[in-house]
Structure 1
Amino acid sequence: MNVLIIENEIYLAQSIATKLESLGYPCQIVSTIHEAMQKPKSEVVLLSSNAGGSLCEMFIRQNPQAIIIMMIAYVSEDTVTKPIRAGAKDYIMKPFMLDELLRKIEHQLDCQRMKQQIIFYEEYFSFLESETQLSSSVQFYPPFVICCNTQKIADVYTIKMAKEKRFTLRFTTLRLYDWREVLQMAQRDIVLYVTHLESLKKGELKEFLNAMTDKNIIASIIASDEVDFPQVVNLVCRSSAGDFEGDILSIKEYEKCIIQKFENHYSDVELAKKMGISRKNLWEKRKRYGLEKRKETDLH
């Protein structure tokens, strides 16, 4: 992290630089905005309103990537309101303790890292969502069970719902924890998302489902059989990746996935031939599985 200190009080500027450099933050000191504009871009800028004068707002707008903290002698529209409106992140009143300034810098760096993480995960989820087209005729509030043929589909559905309904998710899996431990993790104010119910034996699955009826839980199971629970979301999905995730599928599920995956690569005649069935049989399977063939305009 590089720090640019714009301060015309040289003693103060040197004191700040000495403290920050002792903590491993390289610093540069300038006394005017004009000098600052000749320097390379910095991650953090400590800008004195006395040194910046009327050019503060212009400099702030020209450096949107920087964490800019105003160092001010008094609070006013020119020293605080306008700079914050232009993009400055915070301010500190002179005289100040260097530890207080350091705390503000580290707080802003943490906020910046968090924003970058949020952007990364938002983009990653949008990517997953774009690869998976979901459709379900029902939507419940917890507790409920998601039943589908791949874990990825259940995850995308759950995260999408959490975003839309604005509730907090906590993740856990029955592949790592005993089902009794998992039930104890449930809380009133946080929805517990439990995956891989299919790893339980039939008796354990029945006990788990009976116990979760009054819990704030969303559970997913990779199965084609009916699930005995009051609220079950059966997902019908299109996955452009055709990812089976190593799960064992029934012949019907496998046929459905193959049709979805390759329908855009081959004509009906070619696809039917490769599957070892007639074109009429392919049409019948599409109808049976609820797979309408996408039009050319839907593929671009």
Structure 2
Amino acid sequence: MNVLIVENEIYLAQSIATKLESLGYPCQIVSTIHEAMQKPKSDVVLLSANAGGSLCEMFIRQNPQAIVIMMIAYVSEDTVTKPIKAGAKDYIMKPFMLDELLRKIEHQLECQRLKKQIVFYEEYFSFLESEVQVLSSARYYPPFVIRCNAQKIADVYAIKIAKEKKMTLKFATLKLYDWRDVLERASRDTVMYVTHLESLRKADFRDFLHEMSDKNIIASVVASDQIDFPQVVDVVCQSGSLDFEGNILSVREYEKCIIQKFENHYSDVELAKKMGISRKNLWEKRKRYGLEKRKETDLH
């Protein structure tokens, strides 16, 4: 970051430069706005209203990339209102403490950094939204369930709805937390977005849906089965791909991933049928991949 100090009070300009340079901010000093116009673009401009005169607004408009802070002796339309409208970020009254000036500079730098970060995330989110295809025309308020073919697509849709309806989201995954604990943490003030319902056993899946029916919850499940819940939104990835974190899997890895991902959601008979294999073949694959066989009673 480089700083241009436009100040006709040389002692003040040198004091500011000494303080900023001790903190690692390179400074240049000029005494008139005409000199400032000849200098390369700066990240921060400390502009004295006395040194700038009537050219302050033009100079500010010519340097939209810079954080301009006005240094003024009094507040007026010419020293504050017009420069702020032209694009100046702040002002400070003379005489001032150098620490207060530094605080204003660092505050504006942080604001600039955050704005750039927000623009980045907004653009990235818009890019992700292009992958989302919503099959249901309804727009629901919580509680509702997102049924999807890829987890990241459900996540994008949930965030999109939260932005549209100006809702704040809290996040919870049933891969890491017990579903009962998640329900207890739900509040009426904040919407809780709960992912990976497919990891639940059938009985727990039904109980979770029943319990969430009066709570401020959006839940997502990677599945295509019928879901017994009043509000279900179907969302798919435009490419139709499954969510394996962007990796290309071998056939064996794919089989192992499918078994692990859906074994709590389906009985062995149902899972084997969906995979197009026999129940015996499923048992053999479990043994081959070192996956512990669950008790059938756990599913009911």
Normalising to structure 2: TM-score of the pair?
A: 0.77
Following the alignment from structure 1 to structure 2, what is the Cα–Cα distance between the partners of residues 17 and 213?
62
For residues 234-245 of structure 1, what are the structure 2 equivalents within 5 Å?
Answer: 234-235=234-235, 237=236, 239=238, 241-245=239-243
Following the alignment from structure 1 to structure 2, what is the Cα–Cα distance between the partners of residues 130 and 176?
29
Provide the residue aligned with 2:268 in structure 1: none
1:80-110 residue CA offsets vs partner (Å, 9 max, x unmatched): 1110110001111111111211111111111
Amino acid of the structure 1 residue aligned with 2:53: G
Shift of 1:117: 1.0
Query: Is the contact between residue 190 and residue 216 of structure 2 (CA under 8 Å) also seen in structure 1?
Result: yes
Shift of 1:179: 2.4
Q: Tell me if 1:123 matches 2:150.
A: no
Secondary structure of residue in 2 paired with 1:75: coil
Task: Rate the CA distance shift 1:102–1:233 in 2: closer, same or farther, 3 A.
Answer: same
Shift of 1:238: 5.6
1:56-94 residue CA offsets vs partner (Å, 9 max, x unmatched): 001100000011111111111100111011000111111
Provide the residue aligned with 1:14 in structure 2: 14
After the TM superposition, which of the residue ranges 76-85 and 99-108 deviates more from structure 2?
Answer: 99-108
Secondary structure of residue in 1 paired with 2:45: strand
Provide the residue aligned with 2:153 in structure 1: 153
Provide the residue aligned with 2:2 in structure 1: 2
For residues 280-299 of structure 1, what are the structure 2 equivalents within 5 Å?
Answer: none
1:225-255 residue CA offsets vs partner (Å, 9 max, x unmatched): 22232322233x461x3431137599xx99x
Provide the residue aligned with 1:81 in structure 2: 81
Secondary structure of residue in 1 paired with 2:75: coil
1:159-202 residue CA offsets vs partner (Å, 9 max, x unmatched): 22122212222233222333233334433332221111111222
Task: Rate the CA distance shift 1:101–1:40 in 2: closer, same or farther, 3 A.
Answer: same
Amino acid of the structure 1 residue aligned with 2:241: D
Following the alignment from structure 2 to structure 1, what is the Cα–Cα distance between the partners of residues 216 and 2?
46
Secondary structure of residue in 2 paired with 1:214: coil
Q: Tell me if 1:227 matches 2:263.
A: no
Shift of 1:208: 2.5
Following the alignment from structure 2 to structure 1, what is the Cα–Cα distance between the partners of residues 20 and 178?
49
Amino acid of the structure 2 residue aligned with 1:225: D
1:230-285 residue CA offsets vs partner (Å, 9 max, x unmatched): 322233x461x3431137599xx99xxxxxxxxxxxxxxxxxxxxxxxxxxxxxxx
Shift of 1:142: 0.8
Shift of 1:156: 2.2
Amino acid of the structure 2 residue aligned with 1:140: Y
Shift of 1:54: 0.8
Shift of 1:210: 2.9
For residues 92-131 of structure 1, what are the structure 2 equivalents within 5 Å?
Answer: 92-131=92-131
Query: Is the contact between residue 135 and residue 233 of structure 2 (CA under 8 Å) also seen in structure 1?
Result: no
Q: Tell me if 1:139 matches 2:127.
A: no
Secondary structure of residue in 1 paired with 2:219: strand
Amino acid of the structure 2 residue aligned with 1:189: D
Query: Is the contact between residue 145 and residue 229 of structure 2 (CA under 8 Å) also seen in structure 1?
Result: yes
Aligned residues: 251
Unaligned ranges ≥5, structure 1: 255-300
